[in-house]
Amino acid sequence: MRLDQLPKIYGPETLSLMDNALEQAWQEVKRRGTVANATAVRSRLTTTIVALASVGETDSAKLKNFALRASGRN
């Protein structure tokens, strides 16, 4: 799921920081080497970021780092 497809419960600022965290996490994953199942990894990153943002986390660096850990890419 793309972040712009989320229900309109997040404001533009929150969507922007979530998108930034996702892109930074994805770049980190790609920087580390070949991604066997890119769709699944990116989906896991997205799910983690959305879950954390839904409970109020707004630090883009924390969102990225937690998402990398959750996807097994730390």
Kindly report the average pLDDT of the chain as a whole number.
87
Q: What is the pLDDT of residue 7?
A: 60
1 in any annotated domain: no
Q: What residues contact 38, with CB distance under 8 A and at least 6 apart?
A: none
- What percentage of the chain carries pLDDT values higher than 70? 86
33 in any annotated domain: yes
> In this predicted model, what pLDDT tens digit does every residue of 3-38 receive, in sequence order?
666 666 778 888 899 999 999 999 999 998 877 888
Structure tokens at 72: 């097994």
Find the domain containing 65 and state its range. Answer: 11-70
Name which residue leads in pLDDT, 5 or 59: 59
Contact indicator for 49, 67 with CB cutoff of 8 Å: yes
Q: What is the pLDDT of residue 5?
A: 62
Structure tokens at 51: 């879950």
34 in any annotated domain: yes
Q: What is the pLDDT of residue 33?
A: 80
52 in any annotated domain: yes
66 in any annotated domain: yes
29 in any annotated domain: yes
Q: How many domains does the chain divide into?
A: 1
d(CA 39, CA 7): 21
